Structures are given as structure tokens and as C-alpha cells.
């Protein structure tokens, strides 16, 4: 027998269909703040206790690193097959099949220690893919909430996004961490852009089912001196795109992502911050984003 469990992230509801024997609370503890009783789901992810077969006539679409795992995506005319290898170990291969409408996915549940890692990351991918057509972006960023606005700090891995957030928490009164790795940003047809907490927050256990209007983006670069510049729309688009999780090889999905970023870049301030990891950099970014 299977049970249906519902969750809402970024105002999108999705369903996990799991065997009765699976304890989702233990398997995915970060999802519990986002649980709800029911809803009209955007997509359903089903857990299969049998290994998924290889798709016939599939071709490799892309390969990349995802959350410390090697990831390979294969494609047929109707489905994607996503393989992840935790720690790059081929012996730990896990698989997800997802249709190209992005509303039905199936993931292996094999009763092994990698179940939690695999299902959590496959859910992250399925969510990013399924919501792209609905003005929704998953950013690789750290986000601070302050006085009714959310501020996203972007940058390549190792540039100090989490460090900058921690310095805000230390030096800016009233600052709170909303998410430290994968916040959700949604742009609505009426022009509002909202940032949401999510079940995915990297190494920092910050799983807040909360939302706030988006105040600004700040892309960080390590530098010997602190300097902040507001970017024009074209440059702002180029700053935001690399931080979004999406399947760029899917033309329709990529177009949705680009349209959403274009709308956001023309309505939400985007800054470039060359900085040291110090209080002066925080004061500089705080002054810029709160006076925008």
C-alpha cells in the first residue's frame, strides 16, 4: 500500500507517493515545516522499491556536479533519466525518471544509507524543473530577512555568501537568516517578487516555511577592498542566471527561466559587491540595498 504526503514550497504544492513502510519524517526531516494535509499538486514523486530500468534509446544530455555528487542526465523523446553517484562512486548509483511535462517522477527507494541523500536531491531537481514554467527560480544563494525585505547574496562556491550572511547577523540589528543555500524566488504577473525559505539549506539547518518580498540581490566577489555597484538590467541578467538551478538543455524550460530572470532583473535591484569578509563590507551592502 502507498500513502500520499503533501508539501508546499514557494506556494507550490507537490506530493510524495511512498510505501506505507517508509517513514518520510525520518527520511526527510527538513521537509516537515512544509507539510500540509492535501492540495492540488504541481508534480508527484513516487518512491519505487524496485530498481528502475535503464531507458531504451536514451542519449546522454549533460553531466555535472550536484551537491557533491556526479550527475548524468539521459533523454528520450518522452522522459529524462537522471543518475546521481554520491561522492562520485559509481557503485552507489541512484536513478530518477521524470516525464518531460515535469509532473510525474519516480525515484528508487532501496533501503540503503543513500536513500535520504538521493531522494532529497532528486526532489530538489524535480521541484526546480516543475516550477520553472510558473515564474519560480531556485537560487544557489544565502538570504537574509531584515525589516520586511529579503536580500539574496549570490556568488560562486567559496566566495563567502554564508560568511556575509553571518556578518549581517552579527552586525545588523534585526537581521535573520531565511535560508543559507537554496531559497526559492517567485515572480508573479502582478509584478511582486517574493523569496521563500525551502527544505534545502546546505550545511546550515535553516528550514523556514516563511516568505518575504525580495529587496535586492548582491553578487559577491572576494577583493582586497570593499566596493559596491548597482548593475544595469542587461548585466543584472548575466549576474542572476548562473545562480539558478535549471535544465538548460531543455529549450522550453530554459526560455521560462530566462523570461523570469528578465522580469526580475528589471524590477529588483542587483548589486555587485567586491569585498573582504568584514564589517565594513556588511555596512556597505546594508546601506546600498536598504536605500534602493
DSSP output for 90-138: GGG-EEEEEETTSSEEEEE--SSTTHHHHHHHHHHHHHHHHHGGGTEEE
pLDDT digits (tens, 9 = 90+) for 270-288: 999 999 999 999 999 999 9
Max Cα separation, the chain? 61
Using pLDDT thresholds of 50, 70 and 90, give the confidence band for residue 233. confident
| Mean pLDDT value across the chain | 95
- One domain for residues 110 and 162: no
pLDDT digits (tens, 9 = 90+) for 123-155: 999 999 999 999 999 999 999 999 999 999 999
Which 3 state secondary structure label does DSSP give 289?
A: helix
At residue 146's C-alpha, the angle toward residues 280 and 260, to 5°, is 100
> Within 10 Å of residue 97's Cβ, how many Cβ atoms?
20
Residue 209 DSSP one-character state: -
pLDDT digits (tens, 9 = 90+) for 189-217: 999 999 999 999 999 999 999 999 999 99
Instruction: Write out the residue range of the structural domain in which residue 233 sits.
Output: 137-290
CB hemisphere CA count around 119 (13 angstroms): 30
The predicted structure's pLDDT at residue 91: 80
Mode of pairing for the β-strands spanning 79-86 and 142-146:
unpaired
Return the CATH number at 196.
3.40.50.300
- One domain for residues 174 and 125: no
- One domain for residues 195 and 242: yes
| Domains of the chain: total | 2
The predicted structure's pLDDT at residue 87: 80
pLDDT higher than 80, residue 26: yes
pLDDT digits (tens, 9 = 90+) for 39-69: 899 999 999 999 999 898 999 999 988 878 8
pLDDT higher than 90, residue 80: yes
Model-level pTM greater than 0.85?
yes
Mode of pairing for the β-strands spanning 149-154 and 211-222:
parallel
- One domain for residues 54 and 147: no
Q: Locate 249 and state its grid cell.
A: 538543455
Amino acid at each position: 500500500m502507498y500513502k500520499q504526503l503533501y508539501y508546499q514550497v514557494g506556494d507550490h504544492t507537490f506530493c510524495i507517493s511512498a510505501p506505507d513502510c517508509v517513514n518520510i519524517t525520518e527520511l526527510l526531516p527538513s521537509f516537515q515545516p512544509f507539510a500540509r494535509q492535501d492540495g492540488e499538486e504541481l508534480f508527484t514523486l513516487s518512491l519505487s522499491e524496485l530498481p528502475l530500468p535503464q531507458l531504451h534509446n536514451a542519449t546522454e544530455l549533460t553531466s555535472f556536479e550536484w551537491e557533491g555528487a556526479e550527475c548524468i542526465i539521459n533523454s528520450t523523446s518522452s522522459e529524462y533519466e537522471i543518475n546521481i553517484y554520491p561522492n562520485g562512486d559509481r557503485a552507489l548509483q541512484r536513478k530518477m525518471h521524470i516525464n518531460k511535462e515535469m509532473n510525474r517522477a519516480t525515484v528508487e527507494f532501496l533501503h540503503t544509507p543513500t536513500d535520504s541523500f538521493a531522494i532529497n536531491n532528486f526532489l530538489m531537481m524535480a521541484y526546480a524543473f516543475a516550477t520553472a514554467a510558473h515564474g519560480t527560480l531556485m537560487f544557489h544563494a544565502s538570504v537574509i530577512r531584515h525589516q520586511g525585505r529579503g536580500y539574496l547574496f549570490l556568488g560562486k562556491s567559496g566566495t563567502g555568501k554564508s560568511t556575509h550572511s553571518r556578518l549581517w547577523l552579527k552586525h545588523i540589528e534585526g537581521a535573520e537568516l531565511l535560508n543559507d543555500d537554496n531559497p526559492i524566488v517567485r515572480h508573479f504577473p502582478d509584478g511582486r517578487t517574493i523569496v521563500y525559505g525551502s527544505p534545502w539549506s546546505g550545511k546550515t539547518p535553516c528550514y523556514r516555511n516563511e516568505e518575504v518580498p525580495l529587496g535586492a540581490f548582491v553578487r559577491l566577489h572576494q577583493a582586497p577592498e570593499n566596493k559596491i555597484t548597482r548593475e544595469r538590467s542587461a548585466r543584472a541578467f548575466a549576474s542572476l542566471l548562473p545562480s539558478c538551478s535549471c535544465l538548460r538543455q531543455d529549450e522550453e524550460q530554459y526560455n521560462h527561466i530566462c523570461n523570469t530572470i528578465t522580469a526580475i532583473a528589471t524590477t529588483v535591484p542587483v548589486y555587485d559587491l567586491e569585498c573582504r569578509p568584514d564589517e565594513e563590507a556588511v555596512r556597505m551592502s546594508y546601506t546600498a540595498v536598504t536605500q534602493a
